[in-house]
C-alpha cells in the first residue's frame, strides 16, 4: 500500500467492515477531480467489493456498505473515461459481472454493477471486444441474465451492453453469428437468442399496453435498448452470412447517399412478429408518436424486406377496394380489416431447420406467430377463444402515424421553414437528434418501401394520400392535412433531407413516373425532379390526355388544381393580382429549389426591368 497515492489515504486507512458512515466520510475526503487518485480508488473499491460480495473474505466494506455506498461510488467514478479504462480489464469485467448476479445486488432497483459494465462499454470501445471474448465470456452471461430475468433494470442493462457489443460487425462478427445461430445451452426447448428477444419484446409490450405504473427503470427504456440490439442483428447478420438482397433498394436521401438495402436471412424471421405487434399495439404518445421506443421500431422495420413472400405478414389479406383516409384517432381500429389467421402453434422452428426449409414455410410460421401473439393481448378471455384475429395492415398504420406526427409539428398551413415550426419541434423533442428530418425520415422511408415492394399496398397508400374525392379547388400545397404538409416539406430548404425523402415517397407512389406526379402539380415536384436528374417539364397538353377529377373536371398539370374556365377579360383587377401572385410564388419556388436559374426567372426579369436594371 506504500505505492498508493496519499490522496486516497482516507479510504485506505478504513478498518475492516467499516461502518457505512465512515465509508461515506472517506469518499467525501477524496478529491473527485484527481484522476490518478480516482483510478487507484476505483481499483481498491472493486477489490473490496469482490472480497465482500463474492469471496466472503476480509474487506474494508461490510455487505451493506458495499451495496449501498461503494457500488454507487464506483459507478460515479466510472463515468470518467480514464477510470472506465481501469474497469475495462478482463479481470475487472469478470468481477463486475459476478457481482451483478449476487443476491445482494441482483434484486435492487438499480444494478450498479451492470451499470458500471454498460458505462465502460460505452466509453471504452475495446472493452466491448474484451467483454464478449473468451477471457470474460460476458456475452453469454449477459444473454443468460436477459433470458432469466423479469426485472426491467436487468433487461434494460443487459440489452444495452449487448447492443454496444454488437455495434461493429468487424469486431463482433463471430459473436453476432453465435447469437443468431446457436441454441441456448440452458434452455429446455432449444431456444435461440432470437427466441429470447422475441419473448422479451412481447413481455415489455404487455407491460406498456397494460399501462402499469413502475418505479425505477421504465419499460420504454428497456424496450428501446432491446430494439437497438435487434437492429444491430438485423443489419449485420445477413451481411456476415452473404445473404442476398430480398427486394429493391430504397435511396435514403442524405448527404452520404447511403442506401437501405434489405439483406435478410430466414434465421431472423422470428423477430418480425414481435416488431409488428409492437408497431400496431404500442400506445400512442402525445403530442406525437415518434418517440422511443416507436422510433426504434421504425428503424428495425425498414431493414426487413417487403416482397411477395411476406406480404401477408405485413399487410394481412386486404379487401380489393383501397381504404379512404381516416383520422389519426381511428388508427387503432381502421387498419384491422382482413381475413383471420389460422390458430397455429406459436413456437418458432430451430435456426438450422429454418435455414433448410422453404422461405414461404418460414414466413407462414411467422404469420402464425404474429396472429397468435395478438390473441395474447386481447382484453377478454372469451374473445380469444371465439373471435378470429386479423393481421392488420401495416401500411395504413404507418400512414396514420405519419399524419399525426406531421400534424404535431406542421400545424395549420405554416411553411416548414418558419421559426415557429422549428421551435415547436425543439420544444417537443428532448433527445440530441440533429433535426426534424432525422426523426421523421425513417417513417417516410418505411412507406416508400411499401410502395416499392407491394403493388396493392402502393395503391392503398396512394388512395389514402390522394383520394378520388380530393378537393382541388384550392392549392394542394396549402391544405391543412397530410398531403398539404408533405407538399410543403418538398419545398423546404431547412428540412432538405426530409423533403428529398418525401419526394422519393411520392415518386414511388406514382410508379416512379414523373409524368404521373403532375396529378399533384408539376410545380410542386419540379425542384425534386431536377435534383434527381430528371430534366423534364410538365407534359405538353397537345400530346397527352387531359387529366380529370372523378367528376370529369380538367386538372391543371402545373398546380394540380381543377381548371376554372373563364374568359381573361372577365377577370377583375383583384383576381388578376391574385393570379400574378400565384405565378410569383411558383417561380420563386422553382428558383429556390434549383430547378430555375435566377437569370431565367421571368418574374425577376420583369422586376429588374421595371426598376431600370438590365
Short-list 288, 282, 281, CA closest to 392: 281
Cα torsion for 370, 373, 374, 375, to the nearest 10°? 130
The rounded distance, in Å, linking the Cα atoms of 135 and 329 is 53
Model pLDDT, residue 368 = 54
Interval 135-194: pLDDT, tens: 999 999 999 999 999 999 999 999 999 999 999 999 999 999 999 999 887 666 678 999
Model pLDDT, residue 373 = 53
DSSP character string of 275-305: HHHHHHHSPPPSS-S-STTHHHHHHHHTTS-
Give the pLDDT mean for 219-224.
97
Buried/exposed code over 184-202 (b: 16+ C-beta within 10 A; e: otherwise): beeeeeebbbbbbbbebbb
Which of the four pLDDT bands, split at 50, 70 and 90, describes residue 525?
Answer: very high
| SS3 of 523-552 | HHHHHHHHHCCCCCCCCCCCCCCCCECCCC
CB 116 within 8 A of CB 75: yes
Pick the residue with more confidence: 319 or 400? 400
Chain mean pLDDT for the chain? 82
E-only strand ranges, 187-345: 250-251, 259-260
Model pLDDT, residue 100 = 96
Interval 441-498: pLDDT, tens: 999 999 999 999 999 999 999 999 999 999 999 999 999 999 999 999 998 888 889 9
CB 348 within 8 A of CB 198: yes
Interval 540-591: pLDDT, tens: 655 566 788 878 888 888 899 988 765 555 677 777 777 777 777 777 777 7
Segments making up each domain of the chain, as ranges? 396-531, 577-610
Model pLDDT, residue 348 = 33
Please enumerate in sequence order all residues whose Cβ is within 8 A of that of 307, keeping only pairs 6 or more positions apart, or say none: 246, 247, 453, 454
Please enumerate in sequence order all residues whose Cβ is within 8 A of that of 484, keeping only pairs 6 or more positions apart, or say none: 413, 476, 477, 478
Model pLDDT, residue 563 = 84
Grid coordinates of 243? 445473404
Q: Omega into 351 within 30° of 0, i.e. cis? A: no
Of 297-301, 431-435, 562-566, least confident by mean pLDDT is: 431-435
Buried/exposed code over 499-520 (b: 16+ C-beta within 10 A; e: otherwise): bbbbbbbbbbbbeeebebbbbb
- Reduce the DSSP state of residue 263 to 3 states and report it: strand
Of 42-46, 410-414, 581-585, least confident by mean pLDDT is: 410-414
**Does 285 have pLDDT greater than 90?**
no
Which of the four pLDDT bands, split at 50, 70 and 90, describes residue 384?
Answer: very low
CB 448 within 8 A of CB 464: no
Give the pLDDT mean for 362-377.
49
Please enumerate in sequence order all residues whose Cβ is within 8 A of that of 601, keeping only pairs 6 or more positions apart, or say none: 587, 588, 590, 591
Buried/exposed code over 35-50 (b: 16+ C-beta within 10 A; e: otherwise): eebbbbbbbbbbebbb
Amino acid at each position: 500500500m506504500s505505492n498508493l497515492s496519499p490522496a486516497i489515504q482516507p479510504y485506505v486507512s478504513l478498518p475492516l467492515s467499516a461502518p457505512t458512515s465512515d465509508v461515506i466520510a472517506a469518499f467525501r475526503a477524496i478529491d473527485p477531480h484527481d484522476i490518478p487518485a480516482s483510478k487507484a480508488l476505483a481499483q481498491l473499491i472493486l477489490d473490496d467489493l469482490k472480497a465482500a460480495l463474492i469471496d466472503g473474505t476480509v474487506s474494508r466494506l461490510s455487505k451493506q456498505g458495499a451495496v449501498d455506498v461503494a457500488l454507487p461510488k464506483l459507478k460515479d467514478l466510472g463515468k470518467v473515461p480514464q477510470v472506465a479504462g481501469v474497469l475495462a480489464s478482463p479481470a475487472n469485467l469478470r468481477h463486475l459481472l459476478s457481482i451483478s448476479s449476487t443476491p445482494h445486488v441482483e434484486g435492487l432497483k438499480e444494478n450498479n454493477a451492470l451499470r458500471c459494465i454498460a458505462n465502460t462499454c460505452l466509453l471504452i470501445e475495446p472493452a466491448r471486444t474484451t467483454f464478449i471474448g473468451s477471457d470474460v465470456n460476458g456475452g453469454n452471461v449477459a444473454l443468460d441474465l436477459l433470458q432469466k430475468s423479469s426485472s426491467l433494470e436487468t433487461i434494460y442493462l443487459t440489452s444495452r451492453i449487448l447492443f454496444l457489443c454488437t455495434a461493429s460487425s468487424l469486431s463482433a462478427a463471430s459473436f453476432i453469428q453465435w447469437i443468431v445461430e446457436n441454441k441456448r445451452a440452458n434452455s429446455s426447448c432449444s431456444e435461440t437468442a432470437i427466441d429470447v428477444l422475441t419473448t422479451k419484446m412481447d413481455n415489455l409490450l404487455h407491460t406498456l399496453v397494460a399501462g402499469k405504473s413502475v418505479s425505477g427503470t421504465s419499460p420504454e427504456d428497456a424496450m428501446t435498448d432491446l430494439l437497438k440490439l435487434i437492429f444491430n442483428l438485423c443489419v449485420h447478420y445477413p451481411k456476415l452470412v452473404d445473404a442476398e438482397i430480398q427486394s429493391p433498394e430504397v435511396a435514403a436521401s442524405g448527404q452520404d447517399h447511403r442506401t437501405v438495402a434489405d439483406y435478410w436471412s430466414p434465421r431472423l424471421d422470428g423477430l418480425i412478429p414481435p416488431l409488428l405487434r409492437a408497431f400496431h399495439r404500442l400506445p400512442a404518445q402525445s403530442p406525437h408518436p415518434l418517440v422511443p421506443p416507436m422510433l426504434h421500431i421504425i428503424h428495425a422495420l425498414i431493414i426487413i424486406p417487403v416482397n411477395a413472400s411476406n406480404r401477408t405478414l405485413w399487410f394481412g389479406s386486404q379487401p380489393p377496394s383501397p381504404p379512404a383516409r381516416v383520422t389519426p384517432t381511428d388508427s387503432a381500429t381502421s387498419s384491422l380489416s382482413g381475413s383471420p389467421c389460422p390458430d397455429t402453434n406459436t413456437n418458432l422452428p430451430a435456426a438450422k431447420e429454418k435455414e433448410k426449409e422453404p422461405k414461404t414455410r418460414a414466413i407462414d410460421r411467422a404469420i402464425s406467430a404474429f396472429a397468435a401473439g395478438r390473441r395474447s393481448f386481447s382484453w377478454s378471455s372469451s374473445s380469444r377463444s371465439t373471435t378470429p384475429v386479423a393481421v392488420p395492415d401495416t401500411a395504413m398504420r404507418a400512414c396514420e402515424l405519419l399524419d399525426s406526427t406531421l400534424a404535431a409539428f406542421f400545424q395549420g398551413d405554416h411553411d416548414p421553414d418558419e421559426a415557429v415550426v422549428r421551435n415547436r419541434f425543439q420544444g417537443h423533442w428532448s433527445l440530441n437528434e440533429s433535426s426534424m428530418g432525422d426523426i421523421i425520415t425513417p417513417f417516410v422511408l418505411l412507406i416508400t418501401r411499401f410502395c416499392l415492394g407491394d403493388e396493392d399496398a402502393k395503391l392503398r397508400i396512394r388512395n389514402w394520400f390522394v383520394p378520388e374525392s380530393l378537393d382541388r379547388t384550392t392549392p394542394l400545397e396549402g391544405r391543412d392535412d397530410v398531403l398539404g404538409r408533405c407538399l410543403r416539406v418538398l419545398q423546404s430548404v431547412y428540412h432538405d433531407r426530409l423533403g428529398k425523402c418525401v419526394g422519393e415517397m411520392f415518386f414511388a407512389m406514382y410508379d416512379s413516373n414523373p409524368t404521373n406526379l403532375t396529378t399533384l402539380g408539376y410545380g410542386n415536384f419540379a425542384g425534386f425532379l431536377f435534383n434527381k436528374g430528371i430534366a423534364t417539364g410538365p407534359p405538353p397538353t397537345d400530346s397527352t390526355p387531359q387529366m380529370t377529377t372523378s367528376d370529369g373536371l380538367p386538372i391543371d398539370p402545373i398546380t394540380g388544381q381543377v381548371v376554372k374556365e373563364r374568359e381573361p377579360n372577365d377577370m377583375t383587377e383583384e383576381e388578376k393580382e391574385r393570379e400574378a401572385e400565384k405565378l410569383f410564388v411558383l417561380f420563386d419556388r422553382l428558383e429556390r429549389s434549383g430547378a430555375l436559374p435566377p437569370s431565367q426567372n421571368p418574374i425577376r426579369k420583369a422586376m429588374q426591368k421595371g426598376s431600370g436594371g438590365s
